[in-house]
Structure 1
Amino acid sequence: MAKTVLVTGASSGIGKATAIYLAQNGYKVYGAARRVERLEALKDTGIKPIALDVSKEESLTACVDRIIKEAGSVDVLINNAGLGSYGALEDVPMAEAKNQLEINLFGAARLIQLVLPHMRKNRYGKIVNISSIGGKVSLPMGSWYHASKFAIEGLSDSLRNEVRQFGIDVIVIEPGGTRSEMIAVGSEDLMRVSGNSPYSKLANSIQKMYADIEKNAVDPVVIASLIKKGIEAKHPKVRYIGGAMAKPMLFMRKILSDKLFDKMVMSQMK
């Protein structure tokens, strides 16, 4: 029997590619997003569009309730919905910082809470949290984004050992540069917040770096295939890494001291 999958943030990027890829491979896929009009085209691939704003409790509960009513279970939850909001810590309004954490962390956590009772009952479940190499490596001007992704990493590590007794796996995906609208949107956001502040010189350097990342970014189906590999493994790895510069960056972070890593990162800010 086909497993039922909920993919959040399915209107673009990794979420869209993953929803399509899994639907093409026999899964019953619900593609969820706030911009539900952008999901209509996915119907042709057999995906069921569903409205979801991960920052609103009533939307989260309505989404899960509908899937349980129609499909009977959520076998695989892919927490992909995310926001990349950038700017110097001093410049970012706290309301924007809280919104970043609401979407990237608390929305994902609440969805996990909502699907876990059904997964426990079925003694089966796969929870896939889309982190980033930014959950292990921090760049300037991304303090709140990195805070949210570091938090997802920690949440996943704790959760994994809570739910394994119920036959539930927790998998973290750490993409590097991946083609999506997030890079361009994040770059625009950076300049809006810090482009005319005392941090403007660094902001311009970061913007140029993002442009280089975008040139080398991989197709999101690369990450979708990693997700499929993880959810189909009998004993999945804790983390799957893919995308431009992901493995080299994480390797350098592992072997270098904090100060040497900082020096390497800042040497790219020209």
Structure 2
Amino acid sequence: MEDQKQTVLITGCSQGGIGHALAHEFASKGCIVVASSRSKRTMADLENDSRFFVQELDVVSDESVENVVANVIEKFGRIDILVNNAGVLCIGPLAELPLSAIQNAFDVNVFGAMRMIQAVVPHMAARKKGKIVNIGSIGAVSPAPWTSVYCASKSSLHSLTDTLRSELHPFGIHVTLVAPGAIKSNIANVAADNYNQMPELETIQAI
């Protein structure tokens, strides 16, 4: 029976977020769920539940991504579904945001997904089977003030998803984009905390 279950790897499963909710939903459907985030501490409730295989995974680290993917394949023999959910909400006026904060947002939201995709595609292509789900945002098509960086990163994710769908179709790999609207989660709270901890932002003076 274990061989008949779908193995799902989800990034960004911290409690209170979309990934955490998806982990529970996949588990309720009888899937083998690999729940991951940068710290097991943020998934304590999942770690104590036998339905989940909890892994610490930092999507901005090549080594972390490679190790977790290898661990999952070694333990379960395959990855049927990858859900790229890990993301950060970089907020603030674009003209004043530190470039380091902008780079971090793209590293997590865009390059993080790319790292995961490059790590699992050879395995899925060898099996001629797999599904990749990228969690985008309605903000990619309907941006709002102070969210330019986040919206731009999600727009990039939308574009690469559309391209990837065509590239991977011949290998039996299906690529899906999910673009949620307003979702009650902890991502905004984390973003606000990060913004408050930034060095004092320079005020633009009118000339």
In the superposition, the TM-score normalised over structure 2's length comes to: 0.90
Q: For 1:31, what is the secondary structure of its paired residue?
A: strand
C-alpha RMSD over aligned residues: 1.8
Whichever residue aligns with residue 182 of structure 2, its letter is G
Determine the structure 1 residue equivalent to 2:82. Answer: 77
Q: For the structure 1 residues 157 and 91, does the alpha-carbon distance in structure 2 shift closer, same or farther, using more than 3 Å as the test?
A: same
Q: For 1:19, what is the secondary structure of its paired residue?
A: helix
Deviation at 1:45, TM superposition (A): 5.2
Identity, % of aligned pairs?
37
Query: Which residue of 153, 175, 179 maps to 1:174?
Result: 179
| 8 Å Cα contact 1:7/1:32 also seen in 2 | yes
Structure 2 unmatched runs, 5+: none
Determine the structure 2 residue equivalent to 1:140. Answer: 145
Structure 1 residue 149 and structure 2 residue 188: aligned?
A: no
Separation of aligned partners in 2, 1:151 and 1:82: 13
Determine the structure 2 residue equivalent to 1:101. Answer: 106
Q: For 1:86, what is the secondary structure of its paired residue?
A: coil
Q: For the structure 1 residues 187 and 195, does the alpha-carbon distance in structure 2 shift closer, same or farther, using more than 3 Å as the test?
A: farther
Whichever residue aligns with residue 132 of structure 1, its letter is S
Alignment of 1:246-261 (within 5 A): none
Separation of aligned partners in 2, 1:58 and 1:121: 22
Query: Which residue of 50, 62, 69 maps to 1:57?
Result: 62
| 8 Å Cα contact 1:92/1:193 also seen in 2 | no
Determine the structure 2 residue equivalent to 1:7. Answer: 10
Whichever residue aligns with residue 18 of structure 1, its letter is L
Deviation at 1:190, TM superposition (A): 4.9
Query: Which residue of 151, 161, 169 maps to 2:166?
Result: 161
Separation of aligned partners in 2, 1:3 and 1:87: 40
Deviation at 1:38, TM superposition (A): 2.4
Separation of aligned partners in 1, 2:146 and 2:75: 43
Separation of aligned partners in 2, 1:196 and 1:116: 41
Deviation at 1:28, TM superposition (A): 0.4
Query: Which residue of 21, 41, 66 maps to 1:17?
Result: 21
Separation of aligned partners in 1, 2:201 and 2:55: 39
Q: For 1:156, what is the secondary structure of its paired residue?
A: helix
Question: Which structure has greater helix proportion?
Answer: 1
| 8 Å Cα contact 1:5/1:29 also seen in 2 | yes
Give deviations 1:156-198, integer Å, cap 9, x for gaps. 0000000011111110011111111112233444566699764
Structure 1 residue 35 and structure 2 residue 2: aligned?
A: no
Separation of aligned partners in 2, 1:186 and 1:55: 17
| 8 Å Cα contact 2:83/2:135 also seen in 1 | yes
Deviation at 1:35, TM superposition (A): 1.7
Q: For 1:175, what is the secondary structure of its paired residue?
A: coil
Structure 1 residue 115 and structure 2 residue 120: aligned?
A: yes
Deviates more, 1:44-53 or 1:184-193: 184-193
| 8 Å Cα contact 1:8/1:78 also seen in 2 | yes
Q: For 1:137, what is the secondary structure of its paired residue?
A: coil
| 8 Å Cα contact 2:96/2:203 also seen in 1 | no
Q: For the structure 1 residues 197 and 20, does the alpha-carbon distance in structure 2 shift closer, same or farther, using more than 3 Å as the test?
A: same
Whichever residue aligns with residue 55 of structure 2, its letter is I
Q: Report the number of matched residues.
A: 199
**Based on CA coordinates, which of the two structures has the bigger radius of gyration?**
1
Determine the structure 2 residue equivalent to 1:241. Answer: none
Give deviations 1:33-69, integer Å, cap 9, x for gaps. 0021222321415111001011111101001010011
Q: For 1:186, what is the secondary structure of its paired residue?
A: helix
Separation of aligned partners in 1, 2:42 and 2:188: 19
